[in-house]
Structure 1
Amino acid sequence: MKVRRVLVASLCAVSLVGTSACVTDPNTGHKKVSRTAIGAGAGVVGGILLGGLIGGGTGRIIGAGIGGIAGAAVGYTMDKQIRELKEKTAGTGVDVTPVDNGQAILVNLPGGVTFDTNSTLLKPGFTTTLDQIAESLNKYPNSLVDVYGHTDAVGSDSYNQTLSENRARVVADYFISRGVTPARIRSTGFGKTQPIASNDTPEGRAANRRVEIKIVPVTQDDVARAKGSN
């Protein structure tokens, strides 16, 4: 939550051309980032988000040969990809949401439909859904992709850490096998350290067993900075 506030504060402090990057939520009264206004400040936003990616963004941008999205088109492109991903994965248990105040996409793959218990083998029936996600990643190539593995709190720390790392790597490797440029993708496991629900109930533990795919758009300004620092 603290990181989230810092990100909003940083964006609200940026003066955009002709408009503000922040609007007031009429329900909460809190400031939030407007995707429709962020185009002019996309370079600032991209720099913040890329810095939080696994391994940073510079080398991955150059290695992937990404051209970048024009700043003004970032919001439109993200909205379109989110809408298409939701349509493609409807009814599968996959959840697609904007994160980082609307500047990145998070695709949540529930563990129960992705892997069997204590297994790192993808369920055969779920590969069709992963194919659709890979198709989206290939259709929208101007982004970097992190794959995060998570577990519940049952079992030892070391076992859960290894399991989460292996599951994240399996999903990342699957995307690469479907044509996603390897330089765009990184994977890591968090074990049981980042629960999204209580581990005291079966439902909570099921929610915590998941693989997340974070998609961060890369702008033309990000590409220019990456090449300039290389």
Structure 2
Amino acid sequence: MKKLLATALIFSTLTGCAAIQNEDGSNKKTAVYGGTGALLGAAAGALLGGKNKGKGALIGAAVAGSAAAGYGYYVDKQEAELRDKMKGSGVQIERNGDELKLVMPGSITFATGKAEIQPSFYNTLNQLSSNFGQFPQSDLVITGNTDSVGSYEANKLLSSRRADSVAQYLQANGVSASRVRTVGAGSSLPIATNDTAEGRAQNRRVEIKLVPRPGAQSAQR
């Protein structure tokens, strides 16, 4: 009965924790997960420890705290470095749980109707290549997006070529091809209206989503 109560206590509180929003928009959820996990682990350890409650509490705190903060802490570190390196670059960084997404507007990546990366964007991609190399536990899904001007087929092809161009550049700078997948979404995934010039400019973009490699989350625990 004590074991069931301890397990339920840890699970219910960890799943109910919310991420802490930083001023730069990043989330530090490991401060919540790791710290709360350690406290609950201590309580559970004390319950399970019987006569050796002190020892049980210490073991419970260590196990629960490290498990809760594992991959989330890894993502925290990568996110912090990316936000530092991407300051002033025009690249937007978004986080959803253990996934990061980099949004690169078309105005800074490609000329209109072209799939060749603008030389002014090389330095940004070099910094991204370095970061991705330092944090190898994530895969990259690179998606090209366009506005709705022109035919669906032409936009689909252009977006695919742009995603491939970014992927090839990163691979030429050391990112393993086994980690990279490209998608040409064309105009099918707008984030703004295509009825205005401003909205169409927002829709012309390349996104890189960083997702945990298979087994990465458990490997970090």
Same fold (TM over 0.5): yes
Contact 1:150–1:209, Cα closer than 8 Å, also in 2: yes
Q: Higher Cα Rg: structure 1 or 2?
A: 2
2:89 alignment counterpart: 92
Contact 1:151–1:191, Cα closer than 8 Å, also in 2: yes
1:174 corresponds to 2:179:
no
Contact 2:17–2:33, Cα closer than 8 Å, also in 1: no
Match of 2:194 among 192, 199, 204: 199
1:81 alignment counterpart: 78
Give a deviation string over 1:169-207, Cα, whole Å, max 9, x none.
110111100000110001011100100011111111010
1:53 alignment counterpart: none
SS at match of 2:186: coil
Between 1 and 2, higher relative CO (CA 8 Å, sep ≥ 6) is seen in: 1
Match of 2:140 among 132, 145, 154: 145
Contact 1:22–1:34, Cα closer than 8 Å, also in 2: no
Contact 2:90–2:104, Cα closer than 8 Å, also in 1: yes
1:20 alignment counterpart: 14
SS at match of 1:188: strand
**What one-letter code is carried by the residue in structure 2 that aligns with 1:21?**
T
Contact 1:15–1:21, Cα closer than 8 Å, also in 2: no
Q: Give the count of matched residue pairs.
A: 174
Match of 1:186 among 164, 181, 191: 181
1-structure distance, mates of 2:105, 2:121: 11
Relative to structure 1, the CA distance from residue 174 to residue 222 in structure 2 (aligned partners, 3 Å threshold; closer, same or farther) is farther
1:108 alignment counterpart: 103
Structure 1: which 5+ runs fail to align? 1-13, 26-32, 41-69, 224-230
TM-score (norm 1): 0.68
TM-score (norm 2): 0.71
2-structure distance, mates of 1:15, 1:187: 42
1:127 alignment counterpart: 122
Match of 2:150 among 148, 155, 170: 155
Contact 1:71–1:220, Cα closer than 8 Å, also in 2: no
1:136 corresponds to 2:128:
no
1-structure distance, mates of 2:33, 2:147: 36
Q: CA RMSD in A?
A: 2.8
